[in-house]
Amino acid sequence: MSFGDPNNPYGPPQGQQPGYGYPQAPQQGYGYPAAPGAPYGAYPGGMPYGMPAVMPGGVKAARVMLWIMGILQILAGIGVGLVGGVFASESGLDSAGTTAVTGVFVVIGVFVLALGIWGVVIAAKCANGGNGIRVSGIVYGSLLTLGGLANLAQPSDGRGGSLVPLVLGILIIVFFSKSEAGAWFKRPRF
């Protein structure tokens, strides 16, 4: 049987325009290999054509930065809370002053600890998270950038501020804002 055989029950209906309602050629992306040189393709059991099959390099790099900054912020939050308590008790202040200083350090420590946990959660969810994780990463990078700018704006006493949070925050924003990151976080999940 040939495709044009009028007695073929599996052929296109007679009298219908070619290409209308019946595919004339195999459609790429639904079980057929991608065109040579295409960055993503669909293979049997794979993603539809044009959807990323592996995490893009920029998202991987931002994920590593999120892990590093998140863990460092968790450690810093715990350290600020503990050091603040010890400092307040050894300062020789009265009871009300000690309580106030300890409370300030504990609040700052909890805030930094919460930021660190937020960064670790974003990093952990980069593999399977949706577009909300991407937006959350951009917001986290923005806060990190603002913190880095505030660090640089402090009066200089010869030490200067650290550029690390500023640079990492900007890089996280850039990597999560790229189009391949958008395609990664908006891909269908089966």
What tens digit of pLDDT does each residue of 46-58 get? 455 556 678 899 9
Residue 65 in any domain: the answer is yes
Residue 47 in any domain: the answer is no
Residue 125 in any domain: the answer is yes
- Taking the CB of residue 58, how many other CB atoms lie within 10 A of it? 19
Sign of the CA dihedral running 115, 182, 127, 169: negative
Residue 4 in any domain: the answer is no
- Taking the CB of residue 176, how many other CB atoms lie within 10 A of it? 27
Q: pLDDT tens, 123-171? A: 999 988 889 999 999 999 999 999 889 888 877 666 666 888 899 999 9
Residue type, 153: A
Residue 112 in any domain: the answer is yes
- Mean pLDDT, all residues of the chain: 78
Q: Which two tokens stand for residue 71?
A: 């863990």
> Tokens 């991987």 — which residue?
60
Q: pLDDT tens, 87-125? A: 777 776 677 777 787 888 889 999 999 999 999 999 999
Q: pLDDT tens, 72-84? A: 999 999 999 888 8
Q: State yes or no: pLDDT of 5 exceeds 80.
A: no
Domain count, the chain: 1
Q: Which two tokens stand for residue 73?
A: 């912020």
Q: Exposure string (b/e) for 36-50, b if CB count within 10 Å is 16 or more?
A: eeeebbbeeeebebe
Residue 1 in any domain: the answer is no
Range of the domain at 67: 57-185
Residue 126 in any domain: the answer is yes
The answer, as to whether pTM is greater than 0.75, is: no
Q: Which two tokens stand for residue 88?
A: 């307040």
Counting every residue, how long is the chain? Answer: 190
The whole-angstrom separation of Cα 118 and Cα 74 is: 10
Residue 35 in any domain: the answer is no
The DSSP code for 129 is -
Q: State yes or no: pLDDT of 6 exceeds 90.
A: no
